[in-house]
Amino acid sequence: MAGWHASKDQLPVERLGDYEGRLQQIGDYYAIFENIPAGLGGPQMFKGLPDDACQCEHWGYLFKGRFMFTYTDGS
């Protein structure tokens, strides 16, 4: 991963309705910039997955707004 750099504006845009995502694979990881409008998402997005939850590990920064999530144990 040493030496990798890209500006958000250099990454291709993927849109799904009002959602906008830009991603780049870095080794075994992905760098993703997302614009998620208020009200989009929530538990209904993950229905049908094991534990009705996203199965991916996440690390990140929230640059603007609020983000709420619930762990599978209800906390």
pTM of this prediction exceeds 0.85? no
What residues contact 27, with CB distance under 8 A and at least 6 apart?
A: 1
In the predicted model, what is the mean pLDDT of the chain? 84
Average pLDDT of span 25-51: 85
pLDDT at 3: 64
The ranges assigned to domains in the chain are 8-52
Q: Which tokens is 68 given?
A: 């709420």
- Residue 33 bridge partners (DSSP): 22
Instruction: With H, G, I as helix, E, B as strand and everything else as coil, classify residue 46.
Output: helix
> For 47-67, how does the pLDDT look when each residue is reduced to its tens digit (9 = 90+)?
899 988 888 887 888 888 888
Query: Can you tell me whether residue 21 is helix, strand or coil?
Result: strand
